[in-house]
Amino acid sequence: MASLALPFPKLLVISRSNSQNKPTIKFWAKTRYLNSSKIPSWRLGPAYAKNLQCGVIRMQAGEEDYELKQMRDVAAAKKRWDALIREGKVKVLTPREAGYAVQLSNKPLLDVRPSTEREKAWVKGSTWIPIFDVDSKFDVGALSRKLTNFVMGGWWSGMPTLSYDSQFLSKVEEKFSKDTDLIVACQKGLRSLAACELLYNSGYRNLFWVQGGLEAAEEEELAREGPQSLKFAGIGGVSEFLGWTDQQRAAAAKEGWGYRLLFSARLVGVFLVADALILGAQQVGRYLQEIRLAILCIVMPKTPVISKYLALTPGGKLPIKAMEGLSQSKLNSCSSK
């Protein structure tokens, strides 16, 4: 199955709690912890250093247990989803078949994508109820998740931090009765399959899943509305800006060199801006260093550090041209000492 975001996939798992007969949503993201058992060369006592190393080893063991549990949960979720399709509890439709069903049979299409994808493109006449949406909270936990998501690939893929909408089922029940023939779709097909499981467990029996998601639909297969193609609704970030996504590569193969030149020019522009920033940072660093030395010379002109610096400069003088903000007479006096 396709991942939720590239290049670092996130996996959605739906499990049932033993204590309550309610679905539990877990939105996993692969997190990196401290992966080295070597203790830095701090000046610590032997007992403290030993305890610290034991703590690192326990953290590694905890990370391994977490990853094993995550793998088991993901495998269990895939088995449940495969069983839903294999047993016919959820029917499979291609994007073309879904388009025919919507246009000819007036079957409702439930769009469960987040707002960032929905606002770019959507199927005409579809109903939007996201199972996950952009996390708008700003508490400590939310900020930590957003930072982790950004560092782990959000800057590249443009995928924001998402949170489960606990009102998803109630919103669907308000809109559709449980005997409705309901077509469920998302961008890539994974979240819509998870939504189908939730809906089936809540009593919906006429569910249809769009295989591959809206991204797999050709332009003529679904009546589209919005500023972009359905294929491009799930991309973003730096990868979209540079044209380094599978969808854009496929479009470039069809459009020709004109499409490719646009992103090639953007890539060249990124390199030029990066070079300019590096050179600018070097110049600013040199300028600040000269100002610092000039101030030290004025305050402590006879210290060994200043004397050594003056001995290494041509003529034993400071670079006065970089010190326009300082008194010229003080600099001349400092250089003559």
Is the CA virtual torsion 54, 58, 64, 68 positive or negative?
positive
For residues 291 and 319, the answer to whether their CB atoms sit within 8 Å is no
Sign of CA dihedral 161, 165, 171, 173: positive
At residue 182, the 3 state secondary structure works out as: strand
**Bridge partners (DSSP) listed for residue 133:** 163
Residue 185, token pair as written in the block: 């779709």
3-state helix, strand, coil in the chain (%, to 5): 55, 10, 35
Map residue 29 onto helix, strand or coil. strand
Angle at 88 between CA 86 and CA 94, to 5 degrees: 85
Provide DSSP, 104-134. Answer: HS---EEE---HHHHTT-EETT-EE--SEEE
State yes or no: is 186 an active-site residue.
yes
Residue with tokens 């069809």: 254
Look-up: residue for tokens 């391994």?
A: 64
Amino acid at 229: S
The residue annotated as part of the active site, out of 54, 186, 196, 297, is 186
Q: What is the DSSP letter of 40?
A: P
Cβ–Cβ under 8 Å, residues 252 and 243: yes
> Tokens 């439709």 appear where?
93
Nearest to 30 by CA among 67, 4, 73: 67
Residues 6+ apart with CB under 8 A from 116: 134, 158, 160, 236
Query: Which residues are known to be catalytic?
Result: 186
